[in-house]
Structure 1
Amino acid sequence: MSDQSSDASSRPETPAESRDAAGTTSGSVPEPVSEAPPGGGGRAKTAGEQPAAGKELARASTPPVPPQNAGPDVPKVPAYLQAPPGDVWQKRRQQPPPPGVLSRLRAASPPAIGPGTLWSAFATALLSALLLGDGLGPNLLIVALPAALGAFFAARSAGRGLRPWTAVWAVGGLALLAVPALRAAGWPVFLAVVSALALGSLALHGSRSWPGVLLGSVGLFPSAAAGVRWGWQGVRARADDSRGRVRTVVRSTAVAVVLLVVFGALFASADAAFADLLGSLTPDASVGDSPWRVFLFALGLVGALAAAYSAAAPVRWDGITIRPGKARNRAEWALPLIVLNLLFAAFITLQLVVLLGGYDKVLEETGLTPAAYARQGFWQLLWATVLTLIVIALALRWAPRGGAHDRTLVRSVLGVLCVLTLVVVASALRRMDLYVDAFGLTRLRISVAAAELWLGVVLVLILAAGVLGARLLPRAIAVSAAVGVLAFGLVSPDGLIAEQSVQRHRSDRPIDIEYLKGLSADAVPALDTLPEPLRSCALENLDRDLTVMDAPWYASSWGEVRARDILEKHPVQNHGTECYRQGQETGEREGYEEDDSYDPY
């Protein structure tokens, strides 16, 4: 026993015994060993074998013995400051970011871009660089055709079929691009181009709800960056797979270009007529406008790829829903609208009295001329129409939705309001007609009259939706807007202004020659019928502009071509200061206020 106890006391402790003695897991040392009991009847007791009452006293009174070869005493780091095991930043990088709004609304990722889409995008970019730098005309329609073809290829590769509404939007957008090919005036051309972009975007996304139609009309822009990445990935994949074919195509294209340049130059030098034809067909791309051409190339490429990407993976803007407002009870909802209907009815009754014979009395009491009375009332009635549409939208949001009786109440109250507002629209158009009869037609007057007429069409569509259902209402209003812009461009507003001014002169009424000088080439056919010296005075600015701007065929509208032909057959005469006197005598500015005379277009 004594040999065993001495061996036990002299041998080194194991790590387990050390942990048991110190009560810690690291950095602790064994407690001192007590002496063996007298008589040597057993082995020595270690600290772990002390009575429970003496353990805490021994630990508190006995200082720990530092281990040999130990370093400096490093304080322990609290648990809340200890870094978790592993690379925290790596774990964060591995976690995918939450999907954005577009990612949730966009359909599945598009398939790899096809060769037809790539070549269509390249053709769009090349035509943009060659044709769009000289002005606007048929070139917009020429550039849009390969872009539409590329979108068709992309949609077909993604398994999307051609739906009726998609065809309506696509055909309408291409039809709107015919306005720049026909008209020279900048303001209807601008409206037509913007509307064509909106319809093209709707054709790619296929929206039908209110948020879908409103956001889908500008939904092409979020796809620009994704379309460029998609196209670049397709180019890299095809370049890696077909390096031999790419070199063959490059060599063949280079040889064809050399042959065309050499033999084209020979034939052009051999025949003057062929040289003129070749010069008119070849785009004029000089070195000085190279940065502008590069920008147009990039713009055409990005636009075509964005359209193709949207066709292959459209954003479902219809997924954005607007929750209806809290339904009101019948009395709370209907009372304000009924009061508004009564106000409209009272105003319309007064208008009918005026039209039936009290017009002169109203003018006598107000002290206004007929034209001033008409102008003063038109703008107020126009804003009343706009505000009525806003009221209808808010009323539908908070309308009662309890059952059939509530639906009947909503249709009745809002239907009466729409009918009364249509009478207000007719009154506003009548006032504008009186004002135009007094002072003539201008761009501002014809624009606001067209806007008021379209608001009347919107009211008719709302009435039809109340009877037939509102499922098609968003798309019907979008179609009406596009048809209005197309009709506005095709009727040639500058031509209408010039024709109305000529008719006023034939009726021995004054016309404003200074205002007519600022019209576009679309006004030349009507102004050409004026007698001299009014004709030459009205056309001198247009003749100078058309002579200086010798645009190629693809950047010239039909209105400009027709105006050049007329001025070549009947040249403008130089009347000198007589045109200035004509402007002072016949150009009374009565009725032509600053808003009418100043026009940025």
Structure 2
Amino acid sequence: MSDHRSESSRPARVPEPADPPGTAGARTPEPVPAGVQMSKQSGTPGAAVPEPPKVPAYARQPHPRQPPSPWGPAGRQPSSDLMKIRPAAPGVIPAATLWSVLATALLGALLLGDGIGLNLFLVAVPAALAAYFAAQAAGRRLRPWTAVWAVGGLSLLAVPALRDAGWPVFLAVVSAVAVGSLALHGSRGWLGIFLGSLGLLTSVAGSLGWGAHGVRDRMADSRGRWGVAFRSTVAAVVLLIVFGALFASADAAFADVLGSLIPDVSLGEGPWRLFLGVIGLVGALAAAYTAAAPVRWDALTVPPGPARGRLEWALPLIVLNLLFAGFLAIQLTVLLGGYDKVMAETRLSYAQYAREGFWQLLWATVLTLLVIALALRWAPRGGARDRTLVRSVLGTLCLLTLVVVASALRRLDLYVDAYGLTRLRISVAAVELWLGVVLLLIMAAGVFGAKMLPRGVAVSAAVGVLAFGLASPDGLIAEQNVQRYRDDHSIDIQYLRGLSADAVPALDTLPEPLRSCALDEIQRTLRGSDAPWYATSWGEARARDILGDWDPGARVRNCQELGSGDQGNERGGDGTGGPGGDDSYDPYDPY
């Protein structure tokens, strides 16, 4: 074996005396490595080798311990939940991911500056591919639930492409980001579903360094290949610009087609377009980084609370169930009896009775879900009898709450019959329906197990948002109010004027001058918009086809007078508060 001695362990070289006679050719003892005790060699006078300095005990340990932190408790290293969820560092960013991120940034800069429509889907596709390539390089497999979240997120982006109304579009875009984040993390539990939908924010900082290192390493290792790709891209762009400009100047029809296909980017929009490109770049990088190294949110768990005794736990809930049952018995008696029964039992008008209780029942439904969550946390867990008790009490509460949901929706139906459908009313009706679905899922979890409950609730929310957007709420509002006008000549034309282009097919069926007054603002908006095809929704395109170059002209001069009299008003008419009544103040609906 070779002797690997460090220079520092060797003793200083000193001049050696000449060999005494008779010792010529004697072998000089080899130095011994540090840490080995040395002594005088017997029988060899003057041949003593000095012992090296002794190594301290702590230095001879194979793995010396780090000194404890002066800020923590003595003898114990501080523990943190962050260590449980922190992902392993991802490998080198794949080239396919880099190209997909670049495509996302370019499409974002070119397409998103003109509005939101199909372009949002076109920008999301390369971002999804960037995440797919990064996950594949990291060894992650495509699981069924990951595919469900990914398809759901992209499907939600169909709402901006189909609907012109901004409020369902905003809800769909936010939901698409949340569902896409769940696809990247693959969470299962309650905390994982909730925090995983926000998890992209935790990857922004790390993704920037990850992408920069990947670009730098590739530029250093393969300068020739990247240079060829860059020069080829520049040459293709220059040729397209030069010959495209020549052909456009030679033929007006080709110029129109080319102008509708290529984004119109002016110099003044440069900063705004650059900002959108940076947003696309950062978002795609964060998605790819998360796909390669997702945060393990499911490692964070909320331990169940201390189990309570059967009587202590069940008595409050049984009392609550009895209260629900008594309330619902009276509700069903009144609501199923119709308007005459309402007047006889409550001495309230039809509309007043419908209005005064709906919001209270909505909050009662929400609070009941909170009560169920807390009850499950402290439920007795002794055995089969305890499980039967929990299922019976909470199942009864869920069933009674479903009847409350039905009662609230019935009140909303009376409410809409009296005042008409508005954006707020259709929104809270959708929320109430979703709460009913959540209650059904909880009841199913009590029978089949709660393993799939967090994912089921998240899926139901995403499906509800998608269905709400595809149903065209502005179109439903217009259709219901137009039908009310046909039935009893009651309509709030001032409210309908503020709807989006999705309402045009229904409003176009009104007689004049109501039609002109309802469509005047929408037509002005359509005429003032020059958004390209990729930033125009199908609802807006359909409205353009219906209205064409129509000009309302002088028929809109007296629109302010079309809110009362024979034309009616959404808020009332004759002072009874019922259909055609004069209850013009609605404190629950600012819309």
Aligned to 2:28: none
Structure 1 CA distance, aligned partners of 2:209 and 2:254? Answer: 44
Contact 2:419 2:570 in 1 (8 A): no
Counterpart CA distance in 2 for 1:313 and 1:361 is: 63
Q: CA deviation at 1:254?
A: 2.0
- Asked whether the 8 Å contact 1:442–1:596 carries over to 2, the reply is no
Tell me if the contact between 2:248 and 2:255 (Cα under 8 Å) persists in the aligned partners: yes
Note the alpha carbon deviations across 1:301-322, whole angstroms, 9 max, x for none. Answer: 1100000000000111100000
Distance 1:357 1:497, change over 3 A: closer
Task: Give the distance between the partners of 1:434 and 1:314, measured in 2 at CA.
Answer: 49
Deviation, structure 1 residue 575: 1.3
- Residue 571 of structure 2 corresponds to 589
Show the counterpart of 2:62: none
Residues 514, 174 of structure 1: CA spacing in aligned structure 2 closer, same or farther, 3 A cutoff?
same
Which letter does structure 2 place at the counterpart of 1:589?
Answer: R
1:271 correspondence with 2:272: no
- What CA deviation, in whole Å up to 9, does each residue of 1:498-537 have, x standing for no partner? 0111111111331000000000000001101111111011
Amino acid at match of 1:435: Y
Aligned-partner Cα distance in 2 for 1:304–1:98: 35
* Structure 1 residues 582 and 356, CA gap change in structure 2 (3 angstroms): closer
Q: Which residue of 2 aligns with 1:438?
A: 418
Report the Cα distance in structure 1 between the residues aligned to 2:123 and 2:423, rounded to whole angstroms.
30
Cα offset for 1:570?
4.7
Q: Structure 1 pair 323/387, CA: closer, same or farther in 2 (3 Å)?
A: same
For residue 193 of structure 2, give the secondary structure of its aligned residue in structure 1. helix
What is aligned with 2:121?
141
Asked whether the 8 Å contact 1:126–1:297 carries over to 2, the reply is: yes
Deviations 1:265-304 (A, max 9, x none): 1111111111001001111211112111111111111100
Match of 1:291 in 2: 271
Matches within 5 A, 1:18-33: none
Match of 1:250 in 2: 230
Residue 250 of structure 1 deviates from its aligned partner by: 2.3
1:132 aligns with 2:112: yes
Residue of structure 1 equivalent to 2:87: 107
What does residue 60 of structure 2 align with?
none
Quote the offset at 1:362 in angstroms.
4.6
The yes-or-no answer on 1:496 pairing with 2:476 is yes
Q: Are positions 1:330 and 2:310 aligned together?
A: yes
**Cα distance per residue 1:8-35 (max 9 Å; x no partner):** xxxxxxxxxxxxxxxxxxxxxxxxxxxx
SS of corresponding position for 2:199: coil
Measure, in 1, the Cα distance between the counterparts of 2:68 and 2:190. Answer: 42
Give the match for residue 407 of structure 1.
387
1:164 to 123, 140, 144: 144
1:161 partner letter: R
- Cα distance, 1:384–1:596 mapped onto 2, change above 3 Å: closer
- For residue 225 of structure 1, the aligned residue among 205, 220, 231 is 205
Greater Rg, structure 1 or structure 2? Answer: 1
- Three-state SS of the structure 1 residue aligned to 2:113 is helix
Change (3 A) 1:396 1:339: same
Cα distance change, pair 490–358 in 1 and its aligned pair in 2 (3 A) = closer
Q: In the aligned structure 1, how far is the partner of 2:444 from the partner of 2:590?
A: 40
2:7 is matched with none
Distance in 1 (CA, whole Å) between partners of 2:270 and 2:210 is 27
Matches of 2:470 and 2:166, distance apart in 1: 13
- 1:55-454 correspondence to structure 2 within 5 Å: 101-102=81-82, 104-357=84-337, 360-364=340-344, 366-454=346-434
Q: Is this contact kept in 1: 2:513–2:556, CA < 8 A?
A: no
Larger relative helix fraction: 1
d(CA) in 1 for partners of 2:559 and 2:350? 31
Name the structure 2 match of 1:505.
Answer: 485
1:564 equivalent in structure 2: 544
Q: Distance in 2 between matches of 1:562 and 1:574?
A: 25
Distance 2:125 2:81 in 1: 31
Instruction: Output the CA distance in 2 between the equivalents of 1:524 and 1:215.
Output: 40
The secondary structure found in structure 1 opposite 2:198 is: coil
The question of whether the paired residues in 1 share the 8 Å contact of 2:419 and 2:571 is answered with no
> Is 1:205–1:315's contact at 8 Å kept on the other side of the alignment?
yes
C-alpha distance in structure 1 between counterparts of 2:284 and 2:556, whole Å: 51
Q: How many residues were matched structurally?
A: 506
Equivalent residues of 1:189, 1:489 under 8 A apart: yes
Residue 47 of structure 2 corresponds to which residue in structure 1?
Answer: none
Residue 123 to residue 358, structure 1, CA distance change in 2 (3 Å): closer
Report whether the alignment pairs 1:541 with 2:521. yes
State which of 476, 479, 486 in structure 1 corresponds to 2:459: 479
Two-structure CA RMSD over aligned residues (Å): 1.9
Aligned to 1:68: none
Matched position secondary structure for 2:264: coil
Residue 16 of structure 2 corresponds to none
SS of residue paired to 1:204 = helix
Q: Give 5+ residue unaligned stretches, structure 1.
A: 1-89
Matching residue's letter, 1:154: A
- CA shift, 1:572, in A, is 3.1
Which residue identity lines up with residue 385 of structure 2 in the other structure?
A: H
Alpha-carbon distance in 2 for matches of 1:341, 1:512: 42
Secondary structure in 1 aligned to 2:562? Answer: helix
Q: Separation in 2 of the partners of 1:329 and 1:597? A: 45
Residue 232 of structure 1, CA deviation: 0.4
For 1:132, give the aligned amino acid: L
Does the aligned pair in 2 maintain the 1:102–1:315 contact within 8 Å?
no
Shift of 1:469: 0.2
1:359–1:578 CA distance, 2 compared to 1 (3 A): closer
TM-score for both structures, normalised by structure 1: 0.81
Contact 1:425 1:453 in 2 (8 A): yes
**Cα distance, 1:579 vs. partner?**
1.8
Q: Show the counterpart of 2:19.
A: none
Output the CA distance in 1 between the equivalents of 2:510 and 2:114: 32
Q: Percentage identity across aligned positions?
A: 71
Is the 2:342–2:350 contact (alpha carbons within 8 Å) kept by the matching residues of 1?
no
Q: State the match for 1:70 in structure 2.
A: none
Shift of 1:429: 0.3
Change (3 A) 1:244 1:571: same
Question: Kindly tell me: are residues 272 and 99 of structure 1, through their superposed partners in 2, closer, same or farther at Cα, counting changes over 3 Å?
Answer: farther
**8 Å Cα contact 1:536/1:574 also seen in 2:** no
Q: Which amino acid aligns with 2:571?
A: R
CA shift, 1:91, in A, is 12
- Structure 1 residue 593 displacement after superposition: 4.4
Q: Distance in 2 between matches of 1:484 and 1:588?
A: 28
